[in-house]
Amino acid sequence: MKRWISFLLAFSFLCLAGCGAPTVGDVGTSGQIFAMDTVMNLTLFGERAESALESARTEITRLEQLLSRTREESQISMLNAHAGDGVEISVESDLAGLLAFAKSVHQALPGCFDITIAPVMDAWGFTKDAYRVPGEEELAELLELVNSEDLLVDEQASTARLARSGMELDLGALAKGFAAGRVQAAIQAEGITCAMLDLGGNITALGSKEDGSPWRVAVKNPQDTGTYVGVLSLTDATASTSGGYERYFEEDGVRYHHIIDPKTGAPAQSGLLSVSVISPDPLLADALSTALFVAGEEEALDYWRQSEDFELVLCTQDNRVVVTQGLEESFRFDGEELGYTYEIARR
């Protein structure tokens, strides 16, 4: 029985992050931090870049302390600890808004997105790196605890509670997008108008490059992450990618990835290898990349056709790269030699 996870690259970044000091030069002021269980790389341009970088670090640290369910003192941990006892937990207004947003995505894409999935994630071992395949009866019992309708949020009063004992929240599907938006606001307050924020694969391009050209972001080949299927040109937008290759383990020759389908309690089998969502809103991009991976190609494109605030790059199991029409001029396809075909989805 083989159990493993591929974190060597992330570990190498973590080692570098320990140096702490930013580097200044023609490539801007850059720094690295390990937070929210991922490596974050920030590159800023401007006279106040060093000061803005420290503001960004401070904000990321604050958010991790607020959102992490592995920190006993966090407000998420307090919510989880009081599940089912009827106690209204006072939370910061930012967190109340985030929880309300998560519920709205759950309601817009029923069965595809649910931040009360934590008990199921724990059963698979993804939250503690103790991997196992839970039985059907165990999953059925845990799925009874998964329902965001039982997360009660009062944004006006900044309170929240979980209605049933045993419920727990996990904000992993949107924490990095939330952080990207807050970091962007923090560095803009310092006068920064040009930056690249890589928060564990959630790439936010602030403004354009110093020469006026757009930022270029590669979309990884989900079957071989050392290669890429294409390149996006981004200005004032976030590209957030979710894929089964990001975190997984193998047991008895079967690969199990970390993106859990709230309907089944098992890793999503939607016919997609990865989903990249491109949007001016980092939080929306992060949440939808997970939700639409679970939803699958048809539902993802149907949802896109009803919306005007995001675009998609879908990599499918049958080796197609499907790009929505809003990216037609800003995506360069490079996947032909890798065995992919290319399609434009239109409204």
Give pLDDT tens digits for 117-159. 999 999 999 988 899 999 999 999 999 999 999 999 999 999 9
The single-letter code of the amino acid at 345 is: A
For residue 266, pLDDT beyond 70: yes
In contact, 231 and 216? CB cutoff 8 Å: yes
| Domain covering 70-162, topology | T-fold (1.10.3980)
State how far the Cα of 32 lies from the Cα of 43, in Å rounded to an integer. Answer: 9
Q: What one-character DSSP code corresponds to residue 133? A: -
pLDDT in the model for residue 201? 80
State how far the Cα of 278 lies from the Cα of 233, in Å rounded to an integer. Answer: 11
- The average pLDDT across 305-323 equals 97
Provide the CATH number for the domain formed by 8-65+174-345 in this structure. 3.10.520.10
pLDDT in the model for residue 4? 33
pLDDT in the model for residue 232? 98
Any idea which residue has 């890429």 for tokens?
Answer: 228
pLDDT band (50, 70, 90) for residue 106: very high
Per-domain residue ranges for the chain?
8-65+174-345, 70-162
State how far the Cα of 210 lies from the Cα of 99, in Å rounded to an integer. Answer: 36
In contact, 275 and 293? CB cutoff 8 Å: yes
State how far the Cα of 101 lies from the Cα of 248, in Å rounded to an integer. Answer: 27
**pTM value > 0.85:** yes
pLDDT band (50, 70, 90) for residue 27: low
Angular region, 339: left φ>0, alpha ψ -120 to 50, beta rest? left
- Which residue intervals of the chain are DSSP H helices? 8-17, 49-67, 75-81, 93-108, 118-124, 136-143, 175-188, 282-295, 297-305
State how far the Cα of 190 lies from the Cα of 187, in Å rounded to an integer. Answer: 5
pLDDT band (50, 70, 90) for residue 210: confident
For residue 18, pLDDT beyond 80: no
pLDDT in the model for residue 25? 40
Q: Which of 250, 243, 262, 256 is nearest to 200 (CA)?
A: 243
